[in-house]
């Protein structure tokens, strides 16, 4: 047989369309053939440290022997079965383990197959919950500025207006947007820790654009408030004071609206707690999970609700049924790997690893504050964030269109480090199995590139 003279990259260039990529000007994608631990390997033998967990999904490392074995064992038994009218052990065991691990009160698991669908399910459930309870006027959502909830139509509607959503504006529905606790760029011009979390608008609901103000004005029309607790991801890696999260729960209770926590990014340890809601000891009415749920192996979504939310759908009346389901709902392979991943949390000191990583990131990234282009450094759990500015006094910086992100991506790639900055917001979010020496190496690359960047 003649060897194929073509590379993977050149074959890719002819037939594949990549996400979030301008296909005319893109650099060639990395032809990855193998993963192990925190590393990815190309077909020509290069090695890259996966500094952002392959879009925030990988937690125990690539090609982990225990997850591989769980997947292989399940594949021998049952690869897939319809989940309307059938059930299977991996789905039931996963639901039991999720309910045990989640903040108390979340008790019913609805499966889907990715983060965006977990969010769509949450929004549809919230909307129908009020209809089923005879309050159909409550169908509007409040979300936050800088939010990112996914790429399907409901999730895009809930997300901040941005370059990503503009082409689809005619398809999107209206939501109310409240200000977010972006302390480095406080929307009210206050300073921590003396601000009293004024951006919540709890004490002064007249404060323009705050959650308190919006709920005071529109409370009777609101189905739910949806937030990314503690860490707003794609909208700029914004780390919250936990007091804001506690206040969201209080305001939702005061106004009798559902609180939806989108923990697609933050779930499964990423912020240093198993779920970010634990930072403020709150239980949302609905929580959205995906990404790390399978340790980053396979697509799976879960939307988990409290018993009162579930109860609103229990009826002889068929119109109260939740008519939503995807072909791959509760795929057994994905569920089996997710169960094994949760077992690893129980027996492999996973949260201790995240705590160590948080310490290494805090100590390692702090000196970067001295660099002229660094405006802010923030760390939460296994996520380290460096916000770049062109002028520290005015905090001015380019947005996603600015080419700083792609330029940095290329510079890190040349050094064997995979990162994908969000415009001027550079962050590291490695798999939890990264060692102290590997973390130090990663931070050294960040330091060296930023020291000479201009």
- Catalytic site residues? 20, 148, 262, 291
With binding defined as CB under 6 A, does residue 176 bind ligand PLP?
no
3-state DSSP percent of the chain in helix, strand and coil, to 5: 40, 15, 45
With binding defined as CB under 6 A, does residue 290 bind ligand PLP?
yes
Q: Helix, strand, or coil here: 130? A: helix
With binding defined as CB under 6 A, does residue 292 bind ligand PLP?
no
Q: What CA–CA distance (Å, rounded) separates 46 from 29?
A: 13
At closest approach, how far in Å is the CB of 415 from ligand PLP?
25
At closest approach, how far in Å is the CB of 366 from ligand PLP?
26
Q: Which of 83, 141, 148, 328 binds ligand PLP (CB under 6 A)?
A: 148
Considering the complex, state which of residue 261 and residue 449 has its C-beta at the smaller distance from ligand PLP. Answer: 261
- Identify the residue whose tokens are 């007249």: 206
At closest approach, how far in Å is the CB of 98 from ligand PLP?
17
With binding defined as CB under 6 A, does residue 264 bind ligand PLP?
yes
With binding defined as CB under 6 A, does residue 229 bind ligand PLP?
no
With binding defined as CB under 6 A, does residue 116 bind ligand PLP?
yes
Q: Strands, E, within 241-309: which ranges?
A: 258-262, 286-289, 301-306
At closest approach, how far in Å is the CB of 122 from ligand PLP?
10
With binding defined as CB under 6 A, does residue 336 bind ligand PLP?
no
The stretch near ligand PLP (CB under 6 A) out of 110-118, 190-198, 205-213, 269-277 is 110-118
Considering the complex, state which of residue 95 and residue 234 has its C-beta at the smaller distance from ligand PLP. Answer: 234
Q: How far is CA 217 from CA 160, 180, 208, in A?
A: 21, 18, 11
Instruction: Mark 189-228 with x for binding to ligand PLP (rule: CB under 6 A) and - for no binding.
Output: ---------------------------------------x
The stretch near ligand PLP (CB under 6 A) out of 108-116, 183-191, 332-340, 391-399 is 108-116
Q: How far is CA 276 from CA 100, 227, 263, 269, 424, in A?
A: 16, 11, 7, 8, 25
Q: Which of 120, 202, 262, 285 binds ligand PLP (CB under 6 A)?
A: 262
- Identify the residue whose tokens are 């109310």: 176
Considering the complex, state which of residue 229 and residue 332 has its C-beta at the smaller distance from ligand PLP. Answer: 229
User: Which residues are within 8 A (CB) of 370 and not within 5 positions of it... i.e. 6 or more apart?
Assistant: none
Q: Are 34 and 47 in contact (CB under 8 A)?
A: no
The stretch near ligand PLP (CB under 6 A) out of 67-75, 114-122, 134-142, 213-221 is 114-122
At closest approach, how far in Å is the CB of 66 from ligand PLP?
23
The stretch near ligand PLP (CB under 6 A) out of 148-156, 249-257, 330-338, 351-359 is 148-156
Q: Which of 211, 227, 265, 276 binds ligand PLP (CB under 6 A)?
A: 265
Size of the site for ligand PLP (CB under 6 A): 14
Q: Which of 115, 236, 241, 284 binds ligand PLP (CB under 6 A)?
A: 115
Strand partners, 3: none
Q: What CA–CA distance (Å, rounded) separates 39 from 270?
A: 19
The closest of 133, 53, 141 to 310, measured between CA atoms, is 133
Residue 256, phi then psi, degrees to nearest 5 = 65, 35
The stretch near ligand PLP (CB under 6 A) out of 7-15, 74-82, 142-150, 249-257 is 142-150
At closest approach, how far in Å is the CB of 280 from ligand PLP?
17
The burial of 376, by beta-carbon neighbours within 10 Å (0-12 exposed, 13-18 middle, 19 or more buried), is given as middle
With binding defined as CB under 6 A, does residue 233 bind ligand PLP?
yes
The number of beta carbons lying within 10 Å of the beta carbon of residue 74 is 22
Q: Are 105 and 306 in contact (CB under 8 A)?
A: yes
Q: What CA–CA distance (Å, rounded) separates 203 from 196?
A: 9
Q: Strands, E, within 243-382: which ranges?
A: 258-262, 286-289, 301-306, 374-380
Q: Which of 150, 236, 296, 382 binds ligand PLP (CB under 6 A)?
A: 150
The burial of 100, by beta-carbon neighbours within 10 Å (0-12 exposed, 13-18 middle, 19 or more buried), is given as exposed
Length of the chain: 454
At closest approach, how far in Å is the CB of 133 from ligand PLP?
26
Q: What CA–CA distance (Å, rounded) separates 201 from 212?
A: 4
With binding defined as CB under 6 A, does residue 383 bind ligand PLP?
no
Four-residue CA torsion sign, 129, 131, 132, 135: positive
With binding defined as CB under 6 A, does residue 238 bind ligand PLP?
no
At closest approach, how far in Å is the CB of 232 from ligand PLP?
8
Residues in touch with ligand PLP (CB under 6 A): 114-116, 119, 148-150, 228, 233-234, 262, 264-265, 290
């Amino acid at each position: 047989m003649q060897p194929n003279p073509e590379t993977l990259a050149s074959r890719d260039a002819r037939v594949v369309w990549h996400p979030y990529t301008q296909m005319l000007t893109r650099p060639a994608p990395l032809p990855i053939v193998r993963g192990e631990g925190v590393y990815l390997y190309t077909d020509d033998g290069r090695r890259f440290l996966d500094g952002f967990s392959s879009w925030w999904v990988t937690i125990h490392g690539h090609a982990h022997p225990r997850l591989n074995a769980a997947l292989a064992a399940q594949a021998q038994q049952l690869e897939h079965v319809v989940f309307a009218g059938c059930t299977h052990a991996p789905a039931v065991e996963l639901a039991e383990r999720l309910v045990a691990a989640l903040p108390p009160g979340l008790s019913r698991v609805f499966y889907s197959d990715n983060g965006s669908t977990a969010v769509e399910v949450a929004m549809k459930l919230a909307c129908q919950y009020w209809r089923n309870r005879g309050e159909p006027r409550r169908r509007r959502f409040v979300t936050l500025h800088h939010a990112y909830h996914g790429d399907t139509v409901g999730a895009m509607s809930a997300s901040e207006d941005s370059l990503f959503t503009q082409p689809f504006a005619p398809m999107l529905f209206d939501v109310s947007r409240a200000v977010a606790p972006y302390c480095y760029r406080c929307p009210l011009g206050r300073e921590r820790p003396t601000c009293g979390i004024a951006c919540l608008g709890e004490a002064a609901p007249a404060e323009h654009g705050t959650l308190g103000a919006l709920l005071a004005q529109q409370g009777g029309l609101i189905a739910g408030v949806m937030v990314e607790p503690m860490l707003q991801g794609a909208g700029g890696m914004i780390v919250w004071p936990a007091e804001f999260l506690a206040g969201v729960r209080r305001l939702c209770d005061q106004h009798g609206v559902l609180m939806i926590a989108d923990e697609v990014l933050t779930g499964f340890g990423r912020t240093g707690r198993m779920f970010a809601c634990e930072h403020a000891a709150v239980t949302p009415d609905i929580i959205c999970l995906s990404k790390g749920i399978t340790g980053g192996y396979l697509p799976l979504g879960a939307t988990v609700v409290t018993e009162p939310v579930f109860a609103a759908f229990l009826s002889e009346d068929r119109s109260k049924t939740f008519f939503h389901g995807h072909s791959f709902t509760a795929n057994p392979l994905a569920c089996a790997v997710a169960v094994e991943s949760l077992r690893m949390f129980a027996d492999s000191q996973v949260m201790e690893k995240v705590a160590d990583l948080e310490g290494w990131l805090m100590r390692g990234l702090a000196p970067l504050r001295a660099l002229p282009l660094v405006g802010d450094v923030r760390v939460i759990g296994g996520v380290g964030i460096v916000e770049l500015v062109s002028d520290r006094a005015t905090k001015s910086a380019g947005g996603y269109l600015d080419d700083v992100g792609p330029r940095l991506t290329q510079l890190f790639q040349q050094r064997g480090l995979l990162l994908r900055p969000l415009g001027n917001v550079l962050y590291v979010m490695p798999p939890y199995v990264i060692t102290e020496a590997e973390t130090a190496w990663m931070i050294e690359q960040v330091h060296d590139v930023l020291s000479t960047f201009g």
